[in-house]
A and B are shown apart, each in its own frame.
Chain A
Amino acid sequence: AQTVTQSQPEMSVQEAETVTLSCTYDTSESDYYLFWYKQPPSRQMILVIRQEAYKQQNATENRFSVNFQKAAKSFSLKISDSQLGDAAMYFCAYRPYGNKLVFGAGTILRVKS
């Protein structure tokens, strides 16, 4: 079965500092997409960043970047220059050919001022 594991239930970061959220997944497929979604207190699911498995280059979106290690099945999210608005639940998700998104359990990120 395809699974996504986020081993950090909760993380804290000081404002303006950098934090890395971990994610590992299990799959036998070679072609798939990986995503990080942010869920603030409003409960809206917001796409932060996505990575195509066939691309070796790590995706970057402004202050957000990923470290994609395909062989290790690892997909971590790095948030640079953390801001108070980054405080949220972050979900790692994997999309196999079956189309459905498989989510990890989530990591609560707290940002301290």
Chain B
Amino acid sequence: DSGVTQTPKHLITATGQRVTLRCSPRSGDLSVYWYQQSLDQGLQFLIQYYNGEERAKGNILERFSAQQFPDLHSELNLSSLELGDSALYFCASSSSRDTRTTEAFFGQGTRLTVV
């Protein structure tokens, strides 16, 4: 158990809909990262938050947004869903802003299926 909790584990929804994925980082970790793992794109970095503020942005679509709340949990919002958004979405957390020196702990992921 990594200590990072993601809910829900599985999500099935229709095209055009909006969903929210939730991540609770390890106790004390200030940084939260979101990754998307799809069959044809591998593991892609989406976005990072550090202590409530956006820290780094990857190839995140405009239809996607995220935030980190004062209690440090994070939510990833996906809207106007398309079939191609079907993927495994991972959240990871680490304790330091410069996480070169610390490892990132991954949650078990949310499997999103868009039908």
Binding site for A on B (CB under 8 A): 2, 31, 33, 35, 42-43, 45, 48, 55-56, 58, 88, 90, 92, 97-101, 103-106, 108-109, 111
Tally of contacts, chain A with chain B, CB under 8 A: 56
Of residues 73 through 113 on chain A, the ones whose CB sits less than 8 Å from some CB of chain B are 91, 95-106
- Whether A64 is near chain B, meaning CB under 8 Å from some CB there, is no
Q: List 25 A-B contacts (CB under 8 A).
A: A35-B103, A37-B106, A43-B88, A43-B108, A43-B109, A43-B111, A44-B2, A44-B108, A44-B109, A46-B106, A91-B43, A96-B100, A97-B100, A98-B56, A99-B31, A99-B55, A99-B97, A99-B98, A100-B33, A100-B45, A100-B56, A101-B45, A101-B92, A106-B42, A106-B43
Interface of A is mostly: loop
Among B2, B58, B97, B100, the most chain A Cβ lie within 10 Å of the Cβ of B100
